[in-house]
């Protein structure tokens, strides 16, 4: 580009552009183009479906004389390997799509059999494919001899059952009869074998996704307790639970959600303890999810919870296997969503959101103490800013004289009304919090620290806010992080703004009205049929383990609100060796 051209382009950047920039859907001829582009695709899909239906009908006709089992097994696979491959190629949009790998091979049977191994690049473990599928078929098949009818040894004739039983060493192998299940298997990471002359395919379990290894919890940290957390693989997560709950009654049902994502959801429960109605309801709700993608537990949660628009969560998410297992043992149902390092627990009560695993790992008095501390944190996070506004605006008589004078003098030079002052600092605090999460982890903490210090100090020095208010915002922010459940923290912060508005309008009266509405709202909420405020309201099964954490040996019964089939988890007297306990009262066997 000459100097002159560069200058001309600098002066008129649009001068060198030959046509308008691309804007999707803006061209007049776009509809015609779309029709042209869609035509072959739709035609190809229709041809594929027609071929599939016709082959299925042929197979049904062939199988009608061979009994019910053959009829059930009649799929849409053809005996012609090339035809099957062609249909698969069309289904997977080959050759544009490069993910599907097709490995042709000849199995050393008598006579030799042509076959193709298919797998998805990146989803399958190639070492397993080599050792459990290709090696046996290509190298070992000719070594395998069967005893013929005349007592002579000879090479094995081709039979899918023979391959399955004698050659393929993969630990999980299933027969497939139609294209749809074959495609599903491939997409889940299996390797599929198609054979010349056979209407049956074999799918071998060869999953090999890249998976993060088990690490420490990021959100629910504890000092004294297990330090492993769930990861993105649902199988790992199920295993993490099962290794803690060595009971054959623990059931893991595999459900699939998402028309496109086909996400595995493992529904775990303890058969014989979890209420069957609860299990059926969870299953019903998960099966009812019909959408393209369920990429995370948070998405599934929104589809199945009772009040998705409520500010407080209707399900518990946990990244701790020990916590999930504890809930399972109490009769709850856990949902493990593939690709999410969090497990959903249903049902949950409001009080459950204020508890952590550590409550149980500490001795009872300390467990109780930190629960009350958390309750106080909840009250502070929710009410202190609104109290401040109510007192400053409507009820200054409540403040002791010295404090009143100090507050008045510190606010003397602040031009904004108290509520604006509070909201601006609260929003600044939320900004720091949000930015702290998004900023790269290397500089995140420094930015958070610097911004909070500088913002607070600068705001006070600029006389935009009073020092008292900085103190209130800081205490409130600190308290909101003491609420253990992440989603509850969001809810409480949102409610705090509403409460501030109510207190601004009508002081304590407005605050009381807002609180009343919140309590009524929470009283009306349910989580999978369980009242949200149980066991406080309705009072069912006592208030044990709601706020006060009783000693472990006194927690004899499972929570009544989940209506477990067996309510006793341990005998009435566990410390039988203790001279202070009465000698009798063995109680029923909880198991």
**Residue ranges binding another protein (CB under 8 A):** 394-395, 397-398, 400, 505-513, 515-517, 519-524, 531, 533, 536-539
Q: Using an 8 Å Cβ cutoff, are 165 and 140 in contact? A: no
**Smallest separation (angstroms) from another protein to the CB of 401:** 9
Q: How far is CA 362 from the centre of its chain?
A: 29
**Smallest separation (angstroms) from another protein to the CB of 465:** 25
Q: Which is nearer to another protein, 191 or 527 (CB)?
A: 527
**Smallest separation (angstroms) from another protein to the CB of 522:** 8
- Beta carbons within 10 angstroms of residue 299's beta carbon: 18
**Smallest separation (angstroms) from another protein to the CB of 539:** 6
Rounded distance, CA 585 to CA 147, Å? Answer: 68
Rounded distance, CA 26 to CA 574, Å? Answer: 75
Q: How far is CA 390 from the centre of its chain?
A: 41
**Smallest separation (angstroms) from another protein to the CB of 398:** 5
Q: Which is nearer to another protein, 152 or 402 (CB)?
A: 402
**For the chain, how far is it from start to end, CA to CA, in angstroms?**
84
In DSSP notation, 53-99 reads HHHHHHHHHHHTTS-HHHHHH--S--S-HHHHHHHHHHHTTTTT---
**Smallest separation (angstroms) from another protein to the CB of 367:** 22
The tokens describing 578, both together, are: 């203790």
Q: Which is nearer to another protein, 54 or 539 (CB)?
A: 539
For 392, the 3-state DSSP assignment is: helix
Q: Is 488 exposed, middle or buried (0-12, 13-18, 19+ CB in 10 A)?
A: buried
Q: Which is nearer to another protein, 505 or 565 (CB)?
A: 505
**Smallest separation (angstroms) from another protein to the CB of 506:** 6
Dihedral, 63, 67, 73, 76 alpha carbons, nearest 10: 20
**Smallest separation (angstroms) from another protein to the CB of 397:** 5
- Beta carbons within 10 angstroms of residue 292's beta carbon: 9
Q: Which is nearer to another protein, 187 or 505 (CB)?
A: 505
Rounded distance, CA 484 to CA 91, Å? Answer: 47
**Smallest separation (angstroms) from another protein to the CB of 78:** 55
Rounded distance, CA 480 to CA 178, Å? Answer: 54
Instruction: Report the candidate in 280, 315, 310, 320 with the shortest Cα–Cα distance to residue 298.
Output: 315
Rounded distance, CA 347 to CA 358, Å? Answer: 21
Instruction: Report the candidate in 387, 416, 318 with the shortest Cα–Cα distance to residue 396.
Output: 387
Q: Which is nearer to another protein, 376 or 454 (CB)?
A: 376
Please list, in sequence order, all residues whose beta carbon lies within 8 angstroms of the beta carbon of residue 182, skipping any fewer than 6 positions away: 77, 88, 118, 176, 192, 194, 201, 203
Radius of gyration of the chain (CA): 33
For 336, the 3-state DSSP assignment is: strand
**Smallest separation (angstroms) from another protein to the CB of 388:** 14
Q: Which is nearer to another protein, 447 or 522 (CB)?
A: 522
Phi first, then psi, for residue 153 (nearest 5°) are -80, 135
- Beta carbons within 10 angstroms of residue 135's beta carbon: 14
**Smallest separation (angstroms) from another protein to the CB of 512:** 4
Q: Which is nearer to another protein, 384 or 536 (CB)?
A: 536
**Smallest separation (angstroms) from another protein to the CB of 521:** 7
List for the chain the helix, strand, coil content (%; round to 5): 50, 10, 40
If you count DSSP H runs as helices and E runs as strands, how many of each does the chain have, helices first?
Answer: 19, 14
Q: Which is nearer to another protein, 393 or 570 (CB)?
A: 393
**Smallest separation (angstroms) from another protein to the CB of 307:** 12
Q: Which is nearer to another protein, 497 or 553 (CB)?
A: 497
CA distances from 583 to 43, 83, 552, 554 (A): 81, 78, 19, 16
Please list, in sequence order, all residues whose beta carbon lies within 8 angstroms of the beta carbon of residue 341, skipping any fewer than 6 positions away: 212, 229, 230, 231, 232, 237, 319
Residue 213: CA count within 13 A, CB half-sphere: 0
**Smallest separation (angstroms) from another protein to the CB of 474:** 22
**Smallest separation (angstroms) from another protein to the CB of 540:** 9
For 183, the 3-state DSSP assignment is: helix
């Amino acid at each position: 580009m000459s100097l002159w051209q560069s200058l001309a382009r600098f002066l008129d950047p649009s001068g060198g552009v030959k046509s308008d920039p691309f804007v999707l859907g803006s061209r007049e001829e776009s509809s015609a183009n779309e029709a042209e582009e869609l035509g072959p695709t739709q035609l190809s899909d229709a041809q594929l479906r027609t071929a599939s239906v016709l082959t299925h009908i042929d197979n049904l006709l062939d199988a009608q004389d061979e009994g019910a089992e053959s009829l059930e097994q009649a799929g849409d696979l053809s005996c012609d390997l090339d035809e099957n491959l062609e249909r698969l190629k069309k289904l997977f949009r080959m050759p544009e799509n490069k993910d599907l790998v097709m490995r042709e091979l000849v199995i050393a049977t008598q006579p030799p059999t042509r076959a193709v191994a298919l797998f998805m690049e990146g989803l399958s473990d190639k070492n397993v494919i080599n050792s459990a599928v290709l090696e046996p078929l290509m190298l070992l098949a000719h070594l395998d001899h069967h005893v013929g009818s005349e007592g002579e040894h000879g090479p094995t004739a081709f039979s899918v059952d023979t391959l399955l039983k004698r050659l393929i060493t993969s630990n999980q192998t299933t027969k497939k009869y139609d294209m749809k299940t074959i495609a599903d298997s491939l997409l889940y990471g299996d390797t599929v074998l198609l054979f010349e002359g056979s209407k049956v395919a074999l799918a071998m379990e060869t999953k090999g996704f890249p998976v993060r290894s088990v690490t420490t919890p990021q959100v629910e940290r504890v000092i004294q307790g297990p330090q492993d957390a769930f990861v993105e693989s649902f199988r790992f997560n199920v295993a993490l639970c099962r290794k803690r709950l060595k009971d054959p009654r623990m059931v893991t049902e595999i459900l699939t959600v998402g028309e496109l994502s086909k996400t595995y959801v493992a529904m775990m429960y303890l058969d014989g303890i979890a209420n069957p109605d609860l299990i059926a309801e969870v299953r019903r709700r998960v099966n009812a999810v019909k959408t393209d993608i369920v990429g995370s537990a948070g998405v599934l949660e929104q589809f199945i919870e009772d009040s998705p628009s409520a500010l407080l969560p209707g399900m518990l998410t946990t990244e701790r296997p020990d916590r999930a297992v504890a809930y399972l043992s109490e009769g709850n149902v856990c949902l493990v969503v593939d690709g999410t390092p969090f497990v959903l627990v249903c049902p949950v009560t409001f009080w459950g959101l204020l508890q952590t695993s550590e409550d149980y790992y500490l001795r009872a008095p300390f467990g109780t103490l930190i629960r009350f501390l958390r309750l106080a944190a909840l009250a502070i996070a929710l009410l202190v800013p609104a109290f401040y506004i109510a007192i400053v605006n409507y009820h200054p008589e409540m403040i002791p004289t010295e404090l009143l004078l100090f507050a008045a003098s510190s606010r003397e030079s602040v031009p904004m009304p108290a509520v604006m002052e509070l909201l601006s600092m609260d929003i600044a605090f939320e900004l720091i919090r949000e930015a702290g999460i998004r900023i790269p982890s290397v500089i995140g903490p420094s930015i958070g620290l610097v911004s909070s210090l500088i913002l607070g100090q600068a705001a006070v020095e600029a006389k935009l806010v009073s020092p008292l208010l900085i103190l209130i915002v800081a205490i409130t922010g600190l308290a909101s992080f003491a609420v253990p459940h992440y989603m509850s923290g969001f809810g409480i912060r949102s409610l705090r703004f509403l409460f501030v508005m109510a207190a601004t309008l009508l002081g304590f009266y407005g605050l009381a009205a807002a609180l009343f509405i919140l309590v009524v709202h929470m009283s009306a909420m349910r989580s999978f049929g369980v009242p949200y405020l149980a066991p406080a309201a309705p009072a069912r099964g006592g208030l044990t383990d709601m706020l006060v954490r009783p000693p472990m040996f006194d927690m004899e019964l499972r929570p009544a609100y989940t209506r477990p089939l067996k309510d006793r988890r341990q005998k009435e007297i566990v410390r039988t060796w203790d001279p202070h306990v009465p000698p009798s009262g063995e109680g029923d066997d909880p198991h």
